[in-house]
Amino acid sequence: MNNLLLTTVAFVAFAFVFTFSYARIARGQNFLRGQIEKLELELNEDIQRIGINELIQTKAGRELLSFRNTKGDSNPETLRLLINSYVALDIPNFLAASEYVKILEKLTLDEVAIFEIGNFYTKWSSYVKLQKPIDVFEAKEQTALYKELANNGINWLNKLQNKTALTYHLLSQCYFNRWDYDDALETINKAIALSESNTQDQVNLFRFRDLVIAQKDGS
């Protein structure tokens, strides 16, 4: 009899605790749902008030847009703004930007988006190449990384149907980072041929060609 009573009491206690816990979980889920709806409302209000280009410049704005992206509500323009905002930081955060690049790569893209992806990998490759490794092992890993990023840049830039002087300049930079100096020279010459004469941009292209030739002759 005592055992039966104890079992009954234990069962009732368990049922009470389970019901109480479930109710707390349900209240917690409702609270989170309310917070999510509040965040989305604030985001939409901020976009209407100050515009997405201004919003993306703030850390809070990037976090809100990143949150929207996790729900699948993002679009190529928002992704490109997120990418550019991380790259434009005083200390560029290419790794954070790359998460949005990976998403963008899976979408149907126009020429502008394809160019920006190629430009992103070119900048990242050059940024990594300029860092000073602490030892020979880090130097080896660094070299492998910036060459891989350069390859990504080449692959995307070569998808473009209409290549401009800037496109060929970026391609030349990628080949240069890959230590492929023959292709780097060929593409920088194409960039020069397409560039506007007697401009600072063309002067910069000639300077880069001198660098490529010097590296090619020394290799």
3-state helix, strand, coil in the chain (%, to 5): 80, 0, 20
User: For the chain, which domains are there?
Assistant: 53-108 (no CATH), 110-219 (1.25.40.10)
Q: What is the pLDDT of residues 129-187, one digit of tens each?
A: 999 998 999 999 999 999 999 999 999 999 999 999 999 999 999 999 999 999 999 99
Give the residue-averaged pLDDT of 111-130.
96
- What is the pTM assigned to this prediction? 0.71
Contacts 24+ apart (CB under 8 A), 57-63: 57/85, 62/86
Provide the 3-class DSSP secondary structure of residue 145.
helix
Average pLDDT along the chain: 79
Contact (CB, 8 A) for 81 and 53:
yes
Q: What is the pLDDT of residue 79?
A: 84
Q: What is the pLDDT of residues 58-101, one digit of tens each?
A: 555 555 555 555 545 567 887 888 888 889 888 999 999 999 99
pLDDT band for position 30 (cuts 50, 70, 90): low
Q: What is the pLDDT of residues 94-107, one digit of tens each?
A: 999 999 999 899 88
